[in-house]
């Protein structure tokens, strides 16, 4: 049996700050011959921040980013391997701090994950929506635990936040795309017993989260293939998940997935002819990177304690905030707590400058296991056999794992980014059936057939004398 509740969805990327290198901001003479002037158009905000320019006639195409990629980073020519689970940088001491909606959750999760010592890319909103769909199926203390982390007092408030994200923050235009999709993948049976998912739960996922629902047989090749293809399609091929990498156990009750895809151009494009190689001073030594260059007049720069920040605006989706630590201060010193992340994104003193801007082109992929991070942030019961997800199905289950994989690319034309977050639910009542033992020893002539998955016979024969096997 295969059921489908399919509603197409567009969503949001609240783009996290990307730590990159900018030249120190200085007053630059108008006649500076080393820069390609690109004056801001009229229509600036009162703080000097530019308004978005009119879209160009032709669609913006993101060209492949020239090697070498920024190091240390994951080469995109090799598959991303999931290493040890991410250990939280920020750990809660004592009582979990109050979280008020998505912004606080984003700061909390970012502080727990971003170390500032290597390339990392995180989509907090993707994790938020995936966990929100899980919370919809929780009851009792398990639900309270999830709602506390998500910063909501009840499911009504959570639905309001998620519904608003999916309704108002979608972009589908000629040169700009911001797209999100949700899905639920359900097991039909566990250990031979039929599984029934609550109609109320399925309706909520469909109506509020615009999620589609599919029935699959976990543990089979077909289930892994279907889910991998769904992720690849909705991340526009930027994340290619191999079916072989999705090893679902037969005890898997359900898998909930969110995908997010962003592609947008700069409101003021960088001239590729101005891009030049220069030195990047990494923690482990100097390397060469390709720097995009631009000269912005009367622009706003924010200054904080040990850092400065600059916003580079996109055509439609929003902007990218780049944060540069002061010389002699490592990035990890600016991170580490939710308050620190919030200050980098939303605090500081604004000053006006003519800005000589240099940004290295970069692209990389990241993949992380979030289970230990989420446990450290308060989701203890949800991962235990004592979890109560009775609002989801009639079979006892708990969260088994939470994984996110992402891609980010920045070049002269703009930004392209994608991510998926996958939450696997494991049946806790799953007990393997104990059967009588049987010896099947091919110690006498036997018959064999080699068949394809659909039963097509590829080879067939008999063995009456196996010989030496050579």
Which one is predicted more confidently, 299 or 9? 299
Specify burial of residue 416 (Cβ count, 10 A radius: 0-12, 13-18, 19+): buried
Does the residue 203 lie in any domain? yes
Question: Residue 263 domain-assigned?
Answer: yes
Give the pLDDT confidence score for residue 10 in this predicted structure.
37
pLDDT at 192: 82
Identify the weakest region by mean pLDDT among 117-121, 259-263, 426-430: 426-430
Picking from 29, 419, 431, the residue whose alpha carbon sits closest to that of residue 234 is 419
Q: How far is CA 88 from CA 99, 328, 372, 377, 440, in A?
A: 17, 25, 7, 9, 49
Q: Is 191 within a domain?
A: yes
| pLDDT for the residue 285 | 85
- Judge whether 364 and 77 are in contact, CB under 8 Å: no
List beta partners, residue 414.
265, 411
| Share above pLDDT 70 across residues of the chain, in percent, rounded to a whole number | 73
Specify the pLDDT at position 381.
95
Q: What share of the chain in percent tops pLDDT 90?
A: 46
- Residue at 468 is within a domain: no
- Any idea which of 31-35, 78-82, 127-131, 266-270 has the lowest mean pLDDT? 31-35
In a domain, 451, yes or no: no
Residue 167 lies in a domain: yes
Per-residue confidence band for 80, with pLDDT thresholds at 50, 70 and 90: very low
What is residue 448's predicted lDDT score, i.e. its pLDDT? 61
15: Cα separation from own chain's centroid: 11
Q: Which of 377, 384, 368 is nearest to 421 (CA)?
A: 368
The tokens of 336 are what? 């580490």
pLDDT over 50 at 191, yes or no = yes
In a domain, 258, yes or no: yes
Kindly tell me if the per-residue pLDDT of 43 is higher than 50: no
Q: Is residue 454 part of a domain?
A: no
Is the pLDDT at 342 greater than 80, yes or no?
yes
Which tokens in the block code for residue 78?
A: 């090799």
pLDDT band at residue 38 using 50, 70 and 90 as cut-offs? very low
User: In Å, how far from its chain's centre is CA 405?
Assistant: 5
Which has more confidence, 381 or 53? 381
**Domain range enclosing 242:** 1-442
pLDDT, position 356: 92
Mean pLDDT confidence for 361-367: 90
pLDDT level of residue 284 (50, 70, 90 thresholds): confident
Into how many domains does the chain fold?
Answer: 1
pLDDT tens sequence across 194-252: 999 999 999 999 999 999 999 999 988 899 999 999 999 999 999 988 887 888 888 99
Question: Could you write out the DSSP letters of every residue in 351-379?
Answer: EEEEEEEEEE-EEEEEEEE-HHHHHHTT-
CA 218/CA 425 separation, integer angstroms: 11
With 60 as the cut, is the pLDDT of residue 420 above it? yes
CATH number at 350 reads 3.30.497.10
pLDDT number for residue 446: 62
């Amino acid at each position: 049996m295969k059921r489908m509740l399919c509603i197409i969805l567009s969503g949001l990327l609240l783009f996290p700050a990307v730590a990159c290198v900018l030249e120190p901001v200085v007053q630059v003479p108008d006649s500076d011959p080393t820069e390609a002037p690109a004056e801001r158009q009229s229509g600036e905000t009162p703080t000097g921040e530019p308004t978005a320019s009119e879209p160009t006639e032709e669609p913006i195409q993101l060209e492949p980013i020239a090697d070498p990629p920024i190091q240390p980073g994951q080469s995109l020519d090799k598959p991303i391997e999931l290493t040890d689970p991410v250990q939280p940088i920020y750990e809660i001491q004592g009582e979990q701090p109050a979280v008020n909606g998505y912004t606080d959750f984003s700061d909390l999760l970012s502080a727990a994950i971003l170390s500032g010592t290597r390339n990392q890319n995180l989509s907090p909103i993707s994790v938020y929506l995936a966990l929100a769909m899980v919370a919809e199926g929780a009851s009792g203390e398990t639900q309270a635990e999830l709602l506390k982390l998500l910063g909501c007092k009840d499911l009504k408030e959570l639905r309001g936040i998620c519904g608003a994200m999916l309704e108002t923050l979608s972009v589908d235009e000629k040169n700009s795309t911001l797209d999100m999709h949700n899905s639920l993948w359900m097991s039909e049976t566990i250990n031979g017993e039929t599984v029934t998912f609550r109609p109320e739960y399925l309706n909520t996922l469909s109506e509020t989260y615009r999620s589609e629902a599919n029935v699959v047989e976990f543990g089979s090749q077909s289930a892994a293939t279907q889910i991998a293809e769904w992720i690849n399609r909705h991340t526009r091929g930027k994340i290619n998940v191999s079916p072989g990498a999705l090893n679902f156990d037969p005890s898997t009750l359900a898998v909930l997935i969110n995908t997010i895809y962003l592609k947008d151009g700069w409101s003021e494009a960088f001239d590729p002819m101005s891009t030049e190689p220069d030195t990047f001073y990494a923690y482990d030594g100097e390397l060469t990177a390709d720097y995009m260059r631009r000269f912005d007049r009367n622009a706003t720069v924010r200054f904080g304690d040990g850092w400065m920040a600059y916003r580079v605006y996109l055509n439609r989706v929003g902007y990218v905030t780049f944060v540069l630590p002061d010389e002699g201060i490592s990035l990890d010193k600016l991170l580490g707590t939710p308050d620190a992340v919030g200050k980098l994104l939303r605090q500081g003193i604004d000053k006006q400058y003519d800005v000589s801007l240099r940004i290295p082109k970069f692209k990389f992929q990241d993949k992380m296991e979030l289970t230990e991070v989420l446990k450290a942030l308060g989701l203890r019961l949800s991962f235990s056999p004592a979890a109560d997800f009775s609002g989801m199905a009639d079979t006892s289950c708990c969260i088994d794992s939470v994984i996110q994989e992402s891609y980010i690319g920045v070049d002269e034309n703009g930004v392209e980014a994608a991510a998926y977050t996958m939450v696997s639910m494991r049946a806790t009542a799953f007990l393997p059936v104990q059967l009588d033992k049987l010896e099947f020893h091919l110690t006498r002539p036997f018959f064999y057939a080699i068949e394809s998955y659909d039963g097509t016979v590829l080879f067939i024969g008999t063995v009456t004398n196996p010989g030496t096997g050579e």
